[in-house]
Structure 1
Amino acid sequence: MNIRRCIFGAVFFLGIVLQFACENNLKDVEKISAKKLLVPVDKSVGVEIIYSDSARVKAKLITPELLNFKTEKPYIEMSKGVTVIFYDQNQQETSRVKSDYAIRRERENRVELKRNVVVTNIKGETFKSDELIWDETLKRFFSDKLVTITSKNNILHGTSFWANEDFSYYEIVQSTGDLSLGSGLNPE
């Protein structure tokens, strides 16, 4: 029984020492919580932004809410969804991009569109993915996520892809799907 009492006593003593060793100083906790980082944010609602080059409208961005974070690496967040409409030189719509969420990294000239990303082009093709990146400098969209492209007679799936801004040209990686080659083929 003596050995059990010694072991119990040692464990009890060690438990008390550890309890006091792990106790936080309330003043230290208050100091840390008082040092919350304040980030200046501009909030705009019902936003429509026109992108132009040489007095020609190239694109229009529409979002119900835009948060402009003025940090060391500034960014714009559109957490309530976004629609971007692209136009050709004749001001005709060439493509439309929609997503449930978007973030624009200002210094990188890059927009990340996420959740339920849907793109339609002038040919009537529809592109769907969970994520799409718009590189404003290269004037390209790309994604390393699964993509589905639907046209009048075809449905393609791929592991990734890239497209020009108006989605008139695209390349899809590891594509699978139903492809209609036209009615001019002889089935014999």
Structure 2
Amino acid sequence: MQQKLKYRLLNIVTVIAVTMFFSCEGNLKEVQKMTAQNKMPVGVAEDFVLKYTDSTKLKAVVSGPLYEDYTNQTFPFQEFPKGVHVVFYDDSNQKSTITAKYAIFYSKSDLVDMKGDVVLKTYDGKQLLADQLFWDQKNQWIFTEGPYTFNSPDLNMTGIGIDFNKEFTVVNSHGNSGTAVVKEETKTEEAPKTE
């Protein structure tokens, strides 16, 4: 008799546990659906071209195959999941470019994260190649902690980690190697004076 009672209690507990499991699974699916709905972008653009101006002067042109605007999120961002091409214009209207296979812009922090075959080319012949590159718009600072290759008319180097200002006038590189062109100054000897 006691054996039958234990068997029945075990069956009842099993039925309750299975019922609760399926009930919780249904709730979990509902929660996942609600979360997914909250991750929907406010706007989507395909084959887009965005132009940024300041006081009617063109500063940048951003283009790519797909743009998603998530400014409706707690930490708003804009995503370029299929790549991005950016043309920057300086005060003298000289253009530099940057391309990446993926980019995301966090508007609250003014930080752009670019990944996948990132190529930065300046108007004066400098080129930086990296797997990932960050651009701090607020401080006008560009950096990576990963591998990079830098080429210019007078300097070629590779390394791990580099940061610099947007004009490339202040550069901090870490663990690098490369070659540089050094121009020698030649002194001309003065002819002896005759009196």
Which range, TM-score by smaller chain? 0.7 to 0.9
CA distance in 2 between counterparts of 1:128 and 1:116 reads 7
The alignment partner of 1:144 has SS state of strand
More displaced, 20-29 or 74-83? 20-29
Matched, 1:89 2:103: no
CA distance in 2 between counterparts of 1:147 and 1:183 reads 29
Any gaps of 5 or more consecutive residues in structure 1?
1-12
Tell me the equivalent position of 2:26: 30
1:173-188 counterparts in 2 under 5 A? Answer: 173-182=174-183
Q: 2:89 is aligned with what amino acid?
A: Y
Tell me the equivalent position of 1:171: 172
CA distance in 1 between counterparts of 2:167 and 2:84 reads 17
Give the C-alpha shift of residue 62 in structure 1: 1.1
8 A Cα contact 2:51 2:60, kept in partner: yes
The alignment partner of 1:45 has SS state of strand
CA distance in 2 between counterparts of 1:75 and 1:151 reads 33
Question: Higher Cα Rg: structure 1 or 2?
Answer: 2
Tell me the equivalent position of 1:10: none
In percent, how many aligned pairs have the same letter? 22
Tell me the equivalent position of 1:105: 106
The alignment partner of 2:108 has SS state of helix
Q: 2:132 is aligned with what amino acid?
A: E
CA distance in 2 between counterparts of 1:72 and 1:53 reads 28
Q: Which has the higher contact order (CA 8 A, sep 6+)?
A: 1
Tell me the equivalent position of 1:123: 124
Tell me the equivalent position of 1:149: 150
Give the C-alpha shift of residue 158 in structure 1: 2.1
Tell me the equivalent position of 1:56: 57
8 A Cα contact 2:94 2:123, kept in partner: no
Q: 1:99 to 1:168 in 2, by over 3 A?
A: farther
CA distance in 2 between counterparts of 1:154 and 1:138 reads 25
Q: 2:104 is aligned with what amino acid?
A: I
Q: 1:177 is aligned with what amino acid?
A: G
Q: What do residues 149-176 of structure 1 show as CA deviations (whole Å, max 9, x unaligned)?
A: 0123542012211222244553322221
Q: What do residues 107-150 of structure 1 show as CA deviations (whole Å, max 9, x unaligned)?
A: 11111001111111122121011111111111121111121101
8 A Cα contact 1:121 1:168, kept in partner: no
1:71-90 counterparts in 2 under 5 A? Answer: 71-90=73-92
Tell me the equivalent position of 1:140: 141
Q: 2:81 is aligned with what amino acid?
A: S
The alignment partner of 2:68 has SS state of strand
Normalising by structure 1, what TM-score? 0.78
